[in-house]
């Protein structure tokens, strides 16, 4: 590649990477992930501490030892209170004075019906209510089953359900897979369009600031366009890699830590197992690269043929509208990745970056289809580069009215 192109790439890359916006959004991404993970966890844990102390008056004499460990496990501090005639009055006093969050009164009736009275100073969250309720009913069931000589522990721990798949066809839209496919496709859409749009804006800016004439008096317009696209693409790739690596570190390192801190987060751990592996990350990055090349070429041409931002947004609109199709198709493709419609739509090069991702994550797609789609995207990239390069060359120096379609065609033919 010629030295000019490198100079343009370098300039484009360094200018952007050094910008405040880039630093903020690149570091902000992982911070956001951290925040999303930590904040709820923090509130779960600290919320527990605030309403921590709970007294249990056990009139049944058998329930306390069964309830206490369970509630302690849920982050509550529990103390037993002996039954005496004025116990409710004195505990009420203690609670209103702030020494207790509340107290539970259990009696013989509780053993039969599971009913109990909970006195609290502040209204507990629905989840906490459920915790209390299930702690009590569970203790009652345990007691009753044991009296009848049943192994209560094994039964109450929920038994074990094992799944065995009978066909090769994909399992189903298990929750985490669905989200990885859906969010991944949507994320690709956002980054690809964002960076393609950056190419358009940069082109437009060079054109309107008139710097472009100086530049292309020293190098081929085509080289300038190439350098610009590669430079912006490298910025996008950098950002993506920072996000992916830090995301992995945060999730892989932070998650187990969080889970150990607050067991309520246990179900989130299943998300971990659904996170894409190295192969999928590579696919993601490749889809970004191909998608970016296709769309940035188109955007560069749009930028070159327009004179103002509004004009460019207008011209770009049909292209963005077209993209509604793959985005709408994503959820269909995830559920039925192997139908003819899903296959054809995902092979259409301009849609491939989003739909191929969704299909591959959903599983069961033959390797040759992935290969074919990349081949088709490659041809599309070359075709777009050829056409866009020609439009760019003529358009970049044009002022005044934006070209009509026949005029555009003439540019392409004559350039």
Partner 1 sequence: MIDTRYAIRLNGVTKRFGNHVAVSELNFDVPRGAICGLLGPNGSGKTTCIRMIMGILHPDTGSVSLLGAPPDDVRRKRVGYLPEERGVYRKMTCTEFLTFLAEIRGVSRTEGWKRSNDWLERLGLGEWADRRIEALSKGMQQKVQFIATVIHEPELLILDEPFSGLDPLNQDVLEEIIRDFHSKGTTILLSTHLMDQAERLCERVCLISNARKVLDADLKELKAKERTGVVAVRFEGSNQWLEGPEIDYIHESNGELQLILKDGADHQSILKRGLQCGAKIYRFDLVEPRLHEIFVRHAGTESIGDAGMPKNVTLELQ
Site of interaction with partner 1 (CB under 8 A)? 3-4, 7-8, 11, 15, 19, 206, 209-220, 397
Tokens at 11, concatenated: 């300039």
Q: Say what the alpha-carbon torsion angle 6, 9, 15, 18 is, to the nearest 10 degrees.
A: -90
List the end-to-end C-alpha distance of the chain, in Å, as a whole number.
22
CB of 337 to partner 1, least distance (A): 45
- Strands of the sheet containing 102-106, edge to edge, are 77-81, 53-58, 102-106, 117-120
CB of 313 to partner 1, least distance (A): 22
Return the number of the residue (1 or 72) whose C-beta is nearest partner 1.
Answer: 1
Return the number of the residue (10 or 93) whose C-beta is nearest partner 1.
Answer: 10
CB of 13 to partner 1, least distance (A): 12
Return the number of the residue (215 or 376) whose C-beta is nearest partner 1.
Answer: 215
Return the number of the residue (203 or 352) whose C-beta is nearest partner 1.
Answer: 203
CA distance 281 to 279: 5
CB of 228 to partner 1, least distance (A): 12
Return the number of the residue (51 or 197) whose C-beta is nearest partner 1.
Answer: 197
CA distance 341 to 88: 69
CB of 198 to partner 1, least distance (A): 14
Return the number of the residue (257 or 399) whose C-beta is nearest partner 1.
Answer: 399
| Kind of pairing between the strands at 102-106 and 53-58 | parallel
Judge contact between 186 and 330, C-beta under 8 A. Answer: yes
φ, ψ for residue 118 (rounded to 5)? Answer: -115, 120
DSSP assignment string, 143-206:
HHHHHTT--HHHHHTT--------SSS-----HHHHHHHHHHHHHHHHHHHHHHHHHHHHHHHH
CB of 209 to partner 1, least distance (A): 4
CB of 236 to partner 1, least distance (A): 19
Return the number of the residue (99 or 213) whose C-beta is nearest partner 1.
Answer: 213
């Amino acid at each position: 590649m010629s030295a000019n192109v490198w100079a343009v790439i370098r300039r484009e890359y360094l200018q952007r990477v050094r910008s405040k916006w880039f630093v903020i959004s690149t570091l902000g991404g992982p911070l956001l992930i951290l925040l999303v993970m930590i904040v709820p966890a923090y509130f779960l844990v600290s919320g527990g501490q605030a309403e921590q102390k709970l007294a249990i008056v056990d009139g049944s004499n058998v329930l306390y030892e069964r309830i206490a460990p369970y509630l302690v496990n849920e982050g509550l501090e529990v103390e037993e209170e002996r039954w005496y005639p004025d116990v409710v009055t004195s505990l009420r006093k203690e609670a209103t004075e702030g020494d207790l969050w509340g107290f539970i009164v259990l009696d013989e009736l509780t053993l039969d019906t599971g009913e109990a009275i909970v006195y609290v100073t502040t209204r507990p969250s629905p989840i906490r209510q459920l915790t209390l309720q299930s702690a009590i009913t569970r203790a009652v069931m345990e007691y009753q089953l044991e009296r009848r000589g049943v192994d209560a522990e094994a039964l109450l721990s929920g038994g074990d359900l094992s799944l065995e798949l009978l066909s090769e066809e994909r399992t189903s839209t298990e929750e985490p897979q669905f989200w990885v496919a859906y969010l991944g496709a949507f994320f690709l859409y956002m980054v690809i369009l964002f960076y393609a749009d950056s190419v358009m804006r940069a082109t437009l800016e060079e054109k309107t600031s008139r710097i472009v004439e100086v530049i292309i008096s020293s190098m081929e317009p085509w080289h300038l366009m190439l350098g610009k696209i590669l430079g912006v693409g490298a910025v996008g790739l950098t950002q993506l890699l920072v996000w992916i690596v830090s995301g992995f570190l945060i999730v892989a390192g932070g998650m187990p830590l969080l889970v150990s801190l607050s067991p309520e987060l246990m179900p989130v751990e299943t998300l971990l197992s659904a996170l894409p592996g190295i192969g999928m990350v590579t696919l993601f990055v490749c889809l970004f690269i191909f998608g970016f090349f296709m769309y940035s070429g188109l955007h560069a041409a749009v930028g070159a043929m327009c004179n103002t931002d509004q004009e460019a947004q207008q011209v770009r609109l049909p292209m963005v509208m077209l993209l509604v199709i793959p985005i709408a198709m994503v959820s269909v493709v995830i559920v039925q990745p192997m139908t003819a419609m899903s296959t054809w739509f995902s092979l259409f090069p301009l849609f491939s970056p989003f739909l191929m991702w969704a299909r591959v994550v959903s599983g069961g797609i033959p390797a040759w289809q992935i290969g074919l789609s990349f081949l088709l995207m490659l041809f599309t990239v070359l075709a777009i580069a050829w056409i866009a390069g020609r439009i760019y060359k003529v358009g970049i120096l044009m002022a005044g009215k934006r070209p009509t379609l026949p005029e555009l065609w003439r540019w392409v033919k004559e350039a």
